[in-house]
Chain A
């Protein structure tokens, strides 16, 4: 009886978590585009007009992941880690772009560059605890 009750509570907790908005309360995150390029502008998020870029070496490319953000009243500003992406084999790749002043605008879009070997198929974008599917965009 106790076991059943515990199991029931666990199911309820999972359902509640799933019903909550994403992993970052008050921050609505949507991946809008995934492109490949030989160079990438190095801009933070939200983006300014930094003029520095990076270029790829032979055999590499930049996967440019564009993400739109909507900041709601429930969002509590705090330093956020840089996003990462994983490929089909769960290998992680890092972006140099950092979150700076996330709550400074209600709505914006950022493009995060990831240096990957040419042809790498990406599976997931991770921003803090949020995990967003990239496979559908990476055709």
Chain B
């Protein structure tokens, strides 16, 4: 077994603590450390047991809300919801990022990766926006997300947002997309996508814009890093160039999705 010396010393409280230990205490600490590491290694070798679709369905009545509820409508981990900051009178996309989509780590990581790997601005924008609608609603989030942003963004970006949901279920090794293990956990290991998703996939495979949503899925996969440091700042220019910010503010411009922005702005309205 290889021992990471620095990690071992850090686990004891740092070099100062180690310096105060006698030889016997150090030897004992090392033995405990190696036992713990061995347990971790053995656990890592056990194949994870993923739930079935039936087991996931059996959890429905254990929750006070449905899994498809947008995150602005639910409390964190079963807690009560909190008062949210009102939106400005003429809210912008940045306002929604700050006050309704936050912390938005996943979409920011996804767009950061798209930017660093030299993808087009339409794809970077699509990555930045692809899951924002999960604040409002979760089922069919590709279609809802595209609808939310469609009046304001390039057609290719909206296409990428709409169809990334479908392509998430279909691996494409040549493009760099693997089926994620988290889908076995959240849908069940025996899950089969419904017919409309299978039909949409068939349509996309022969579509000239297949790679637009595919690249969103490729970046999606690598954007679950709890230690990544990201911000919206690097995307200011891309938003400026490609997002048509309405002068009345999002929600008040009479666009086909204005009501969706208003719902996000005021999720406590009873009607």
Binding site for B on A (CB under 8 A): 38-39, 42-44, 48-55, 79, 82, 93-101, 115
Indicate if the CB atoms of B174 and A44 lie closer than 8 Å: no
Cα of A39 to Cα of B182 in the assembled complex, Å: 12
Indicate if the CB atoms of B173 and A52 lie closer than 8 Å: no
B261 at the interface (CB under 8 A from A): no
Indicate if the CB atoms of A93 and B181 lie closer than 8 Å: no
Q: Which residues of A contact B218 (CB under 8 A)?
A: 96, 98
Indicate if the CB atoms of B227 and A49 lie closer than 8 Å: yes
Q: List B154-204 residues whose CB lies under 8 Å from chain A.
A: 173-174, 176-182, 184
Indicate if the CB atoms of A98 and B179 lie closer than 8 Å: no
Q: Which residues of B contact A54 (CB under 8 A)?
A: 178-181
Chain B residues with a Cβ closer than 8 Å to the other chain, count = 25
- Tell me the interface secondary structure of chain A in the complex: loop
30 intermolecular pairs with C-beta atoms under 8 Å apart? A38-B47, A39-B47, A42-B178, A42-B180, A42-B221, A42-B222, A43-B222, A48-B228, A51-B224, A51-B226, A52-B221, A52-B222, A52-B224, A54-B178, A54-B181, A55-B48, A82-B176, A94-B173, A94-B174, A95-B176, A96-B176, A96-B221, A97-B176, A98-B113, A98-B117, A98-B176, A98-B218, A98-B222, A100-B117, A115-B173
Could you say which of A55, A82, A94, A100 contacts B113, with CB atoms under 8 Å apart? A100
Q: Which residues of A contact B178 (CB under 8 A)?
A: 42, 54, 96, 115
Cα of A93 to Cα of B176 in the assembled complex, Å: 11
Cα of A56 to Cα of B258 in the assembled complex, Å: 44
Could you say which of B48, B113, B179 contacts A44, with CB atoms under 8 Å apart? B113
Indicate if the CB atoms of B176 and A94 lie closer than 8 Å: yes
Cα of A137 to Cα of B118 in the assembled complex, Å: 33
Indicate if the CB atoms of B180 and A48 lie closer than 8 Å: no
| Nearest CB of chain A from residue B83's CB, rounded to whole Å | 31
Cα of A39 to Cα of B181 in the assembled complex, Å: 9
Residue on B nearest A40 in the bound complex, by CB: B178
Indicate if the CB atoms of A52 and B182 lie closer than 8 Å: yes
